[in-house]
Chains A and B, each alone.
Chain A
Amino acid sequence: MADALTHPQLRHLLRRLVFTATPEYERRLSGLDAGSVFDELWSASAVASAGEPEPILPQPWRNTALAYRALETEEREVRRAAQLEAHRRQTAELRAAWLGHMIASGAPLRENLVLFFHGFFGSSSTAVEIPQALEQRNALMRSAAMTSMPALLDQLVLDPAMMIQIGMDGHGPDRVSDRPAKLILEHWTVGPGGYTDADVGELSSALTGWSLGAAEGAETVSAAELDPAASAIERRSGLNVRFDPSRHESGPKTLLGVTREFDARSALRDLALRPATARRVGRALLEYFGVVDPEQRLADRLASVYLETQGDLRTLLRTVVTSSEMWSEASRWSLIKSPVHLAVAACRQLEMANPPLSALTGWLEAAGQALFDTPNNGEGGWPGHDAWITPPDRLAIRYQLPHVLAGAPLALGLAAPSAPRAASEQQAEPEAGTDRDSTTLAAETLLDRLDPAPGLALDTLERRAARYGGTLGFAGVVMATPHYQLA
């Protein structure tokens, strides 16, 4: 695809890579070929300052509900209830902040990749519970999203939130669980069928020795002071990652036929560079970016690119974008938008300066995509595709998006010279004697801005929208068209 992209092609690419087209992107990127558009988007997102928001939660996390034996049960329960409430509130703030960042970020490609990895690795705010850990993990994914798969895996396996989520914390010779090894093999690397029970055992042993403890310099709590029957979080002194060689099972381990002195990091490095991992990552990217690859030719190519470049994400994505499959008819409108993509795209299209983030995160949850919570308690990502519209009332929820958006003033910023409707008029019925030309212009601009499929008849939409009037009513009608649900 070395030719300059046509306008519909540019929009297709922008929808897939950066949530949606915006007038600014269209101006900046028109006349370029697919590879150059990708390079521009990648460079813009790779500037760290453009992509990384300030943390919003107080760090480090301090456990205010440690289960001291000396405390009365009642006092412990009071502290734990207060902590749960604080965590719940902070997780809600975190969801809103991340969504806000996806909407406003100057590095949308990076944010889209963070969302991809969120699903690829799985996330459970219930299992992790500690919002600071979730925030820290998102920051890690954000900084590593534009590097390589092995680099990302290397950091994630020793990330506090991941350690809690998969059960690696406190994993020692006396208490070896299969769970972390199984999750890593099944969901993060080689995938189903790519390993045996023996590999699970060997990897479990390689993962031993790591735990989370009090932050450097913080007051340490001895285990003897705590109630041994208390839950894990009531016994957690901090999120500082520690390695205790005496709790590591050293010695040679055989992982997928290779025998070495594996520890957690070297085992992950080895798994990250396996052909089966390469293939799974390639397929997951195609799936996420909605590229139909019936012959599996592109999947094969991605697997070799992955192995040649040691999982370099830029090269992988560029291969996808410049492939003929990306531009085939079958790949057009072939994705059912995820709720996050629907919401982020709508806010970007409408240039909402102050989107109602908390209402939107509630809407995301109802639509089946609570941020930080993938299905099955984080074991695996969102299934996507028709699962986004099953059961069917999820579709009804998707149609409510314009109303959720209307919870805050719309800042449309339409370039129509003849005064588009102001926010205050949005709910009003069309007034008698409205200047027909200005209404049409606003509707045309809005229709263009919302980026629906070609062929949507403006007059039909308008007639339907006129019943309840205003920009919002019009946007609602456009957003309920099949094309708007697809990307």
Chain B
Amino acid sequence: MTRITRRQALAFAASIPAASIPLIPGLLVEPARAAGLSAERYEGRVVVVLRMKGGNDGFNTVVPVNDDRYYRARPNIALAKRETLSVSGHEAGLHPALADFMRLMDDGHAGILQSVGYPQPSRSHLRSTEIWQAGSLAADAPAAGWLGRYLDSGCGCDVDVAGVQLGGEPALTLASATRRSRTIGHPQLLLRMNPEHAQRVLQRGPVNEPFSHLAVSQSALAGAAALVQHAAGGSGARYGYPDTSFGRGLRWTADMIETETPVRAYHVELGSFETGAASFDTHVDQLAQHEQLYAELGRGVRAFVEQLRATHDLDRVLLVTYSDFGRQLGENTTRGTEHGDASVLLYAGGAVRPGLQGPAADLGQVTNGGLNHQVDFRAVYADILENWFDVPADVVLDERVEPFPLVRRI
């Protein structure tokens, strides 16, 4: 791995859209001084978790194009068979905006697992997201997320930071009892911050609780800055990631992987609850929102796979999506759909079983409008833990669930 030069780093910085926030000149640092990271290179397996925020509609992701019940339930927002991307050997077509993702599937680098959910599903954004992020159905969700628990006790990794979330509000997924995860909302801001300066300003202060919070945060900031500066040596700028918060988050992720940052698990996020922004919570005008989000997702994941294939890292990377829940089969009166239950899970990587996996959605098995699940999402987590990370799933999961094989042994 070549070390990054100062010129490269500055070129990289210049390629980032102008940050809205200027920098204190005193915090400028030579980016190559990546604060001791050079000693800790990691070339092992990583997982990237992608949240499709808001509750993704599985019926319009993988469309049951030969099932009249679908067309009867959605007179205004169903996708016609001829519009969808046909998947050979399956009675289903992909949403047309997923063309980039479809190409990855054809290349053997991506797949979609169908009919994923869990028993007694919740339709509350908060609760159902908590269940997915915790990897547990317990009414009192664990304080650490499923990957956070892996970082705490499973990964055997002796590093300060083993989990990184790029963008979004901190998700429970990576929350760890041993504080091994960081959320970085504005990587570009940390690119030129001097971690040593951050430590120096702490030398004098009152001895009380807020001050110790400040000290903890300051040292976390220094760690995050070191990671970002290290990753600035990545080649992501060449791969046409979408210029969105999601696209930038995924690009930073790939750059961290490429530069052998000792991080095992990443979290990125697509979709927003803000007015005017596209959301997977498609109560209104679902078609337009999907058009935008699926294209963004496909383009981002494609750039991600292309970058990591070029750097020979793809075989050690597994990306999986999750979403709050699926949507109901029937459309509502505002050209959208209401909260439902089981849905699809998308994944990509160099060692995955490609194509459509798992049982197709059974439109005869619908409860209160929501699809019944046939694959428990924890079976995917079990597969990742046992067949990807090589740890017993019960280190993390509180219930024994048979792994559902998405990972291809190589």
Task: Give me the interface of A with B, judged by CB distance under 8 Å.
Answer: 84, 88, 126, 129, 228-229, 231, 330, 332-336, 362-363, 366, 377, 385-386, 389-397, 399-400, 402-404, 406, 453, 455-456, 464-465, 467-468, 473, 476-477, 480-483, 485-486
Which residue of the partner chain, among B26, B182, B205, B284, contacts A391 with CB atoms under 8 Å?
B182
Q: What chain B residues lie within 8 Å of A396 (beta carbons)? A: 186, 189-190, 193, 221, 225
- Asked whether, in the complex, the Cβ of A482 is within 8 Å of the Cβ of B214, the reply is yes
Residues 199-222 of chain B: 1 if any A CB is under 8 Å from the residue's CB, otherwise 0?
001101110111101111110110
B274 interface residue per 8 A CB criterion = yes
B2 interface residue per 8 A CB criterion = no
- Asked whether, in the complex, the Cβ of B206 is within 8 Å of the Cβ of A453, the reply is yes
- Asked whether, in the complex, the Cβ of A389 is within 8 Å of the Cβ of B206, the reply is no
Q: What chain A residues lie within 8 Å of B184 (beta carbons)? A: 391, 393
In the complex with contacts A392-B217, A403-B23, A486-B206 CB distance below 8 A: yes
Q: What chain B residues lie within 8 Å of A464 (beta carbons)? A: 26
Q: Specify which of A390, A402, A455 lies most central, judged by the most chain B CB atoms within 10 Å of its CB.
A: A390
B120 interface residue per 8 A CB criterion = no
Q: Specify which of A231, A402, A477, A486 lies most central, judged by the most chain B CB atoms within 10 Å of its CB.
A: A486
- Asked whether, in the complex, the Cβ of A231 is within 8 Å of the Cβ of B211, the reply is no
- Asked whether, in the complex, the Cβ of A404 is within 8 Å of the Cβ of B22, the reply is yes
- How far, in whole Å, are A126 and B384 apart by their CA atoms in the complex? 38
Q: What chain B residues lie within 8 Å of A332 (beta carbons)? A: 206
23 A-B pairs with C-beta separation under 8 A? A231-B284, A231-B334, A333-B208, A385-B210, A385-B213, A386-B213, A386-B216, A390-B217, A391-B224, A392-B217, A392-B221, A393-B184, A393-B189, A393-B224, A395-B218, A397-B189, A400-B189, A464-B26, A465-B26, A477-B26, A480-B201, A483-B205, A483-B206
- Asked whether, in the complex, the Cβ of A366 is within 8 Å of the Cβ of B21, the reply is yes
- How far, in whole Å, are A363 and B22 apart by their CA atoms in the complex? 10
Q: What chain A residues lie within 8 Å of B193 (beta carbons)? A: 396
- Asked whether, in the complex, the Cβ of A229 is within 8 Å of the Cβ of B334, the reply is yes
Shortest distance between the CB of B137 and any CB in chain A (Å): 23
- Asked whether, in the complex, the Cβ of A399 is within 8 Å of the Cβ of B204, the reply is no
Q: What chain A residues lie within 8 Å of B24 (beta carbons)? A: 399-400, 402-403, 476, 480
B88 interface residue per 8 A CB criterion = no
Docked complex: B168-186 residues within 8 A CB-CB of A: 170, 182-186
B333 interface residue per 8 A CB criterion = yes
Q: What chain A residues lie within 8 Å of B17 (beta carbons)? A: none
Q: What chain A residues lie within 8 Å of B210 (beta carbons)? A: 333-336, 385-386, 486
- How far, in whole Å, are A464 and B200 apart by their CA atoms in the complex? 11
Q: What chain A residues lie within 8 Å of B27 (beta carbons)? A: 399
Interface contacts beyond A334-B210, A391-B220, A392-B220: sample of 7 additional A-B pairs, CB < 8 Å, sorted by A: A377-B273, A389-B214, A391-B185, A392-B218, A393-B187, A395-B218, A486-B206
- How far, in whole Å, are A152 and B85 apart by their CA atoms in the complex? 58
Docked complex: B298-347 residues within 8 A CB-CB of A: 333-334
- Asked whether, in the complex, the Cβ of A363 is within 8 Å of the Cβ of B21, the reply is yes
- How far, in whole Å, are A184 and B26 apart by their CA atoms in the complex? 48
- Asked whether, in the complex, the Cβ of A386 is within 8 Å of the Cβ of B26, the reply is no
B15 interface residue per 8 A CB criterion = no
Residues 13-42 of chain B: 1 if any A CB is under 8 Å from the residue's CB, otherwise 0?
000000011111111000000000000000
In the complex with contacts A377-B273, A476-B24, A486-B220 CB distance below 8 A: no
- Asked whether, in the complex, the Cβ of B186 is within 8 Å of the Cβ of A393, the reply is yes
- Asked whether, in the complex, the Cβ of B185 is within 8 Å of the Cβ of A330, the reply is no
Closest B residue by C-beta to A481: B201
B275 interface residue per 8 A CB criterion = yes
- Asked whether, in the complex, the Cβ of B217 is within 8 Å of the Cβ of A400, the reply is no
- How far, in whole Å, are A129 and B274 apart by their CA atoms in the complex? 11
In the complex with contacts A231-B334, A395-B221, A396-B186, A403-B21 CB distance below 8 A: yes
Shortest distance between the CB of B13 and any CB in chain A (Å): 15
Shortest distance between the CB of A409 and any CB in chain B (Å): 16
- Asked whether, in the complex, the Cβ of A400 is within 8 Å of the Cβ of B23, the reply is yes
B156 interface residue per 8 A CB criterion = no
- How far, in whole Å, are A476 and B197 apart by their CA atoms in the complex? 13
B364 interface residue per 8 A CB criterion = no
B89 interface residue per 8 A CB criterion = no
Q: Specify which of B182, B186, B187, B213 lies most central, judged by the most chain A CB atoms within 10 Å of its CB.
A: B213
- Asked whether, in the complex, the Cβ of B25 is within 8 Å of the Cβ of A468, the reply is yes
